[in-house]
Amino acid sequence: LELCRGPYQQQDKWGYAAQIAQIWRATGDHHDSFSSTLDQLKHMENRSSWSGPYGWAYGDMMMTGGQGCKNYDVHKPQHCPQ
């Protein structure tokens, strides 16, 4: 079983998630910006010991090249992130 969202995300050691699921999303939504990537990493920082066999937390997918990015230009690779 996988959990996507819930109050467990704000609870110590992911709250009830490990009791009812094998994997759970441990962060909020990721957005297409470098600051959002840093927020994702910060939210998971120092919490790796809260996961283990049969119970793993994961961050939201890391988006690149979509919302928040300019059109891709092979001659200007700085198109994203902003």
In this prediction the pTM is 0.66
Q: Yes or no: say if 71 and 79 are a contact pair by the CB < 8 Å rule.
A: yes
Nearest to 59 by CA among 18, 23, 19, 22: 23
Q: Which pLDDT value is given to residue 65?
A: 57
The fraction of the chain above a pLDDT of 90, given in percent, is 21
**pLDDT tens sequence across 38-68:** 898 898 899 889 988 989 998 888 766 555 5
Q: Environment class of residue 75 by beta-carbon count within 10 Å: exposed (0-12), middle (13-18) or buried (19+)?
A: exposed
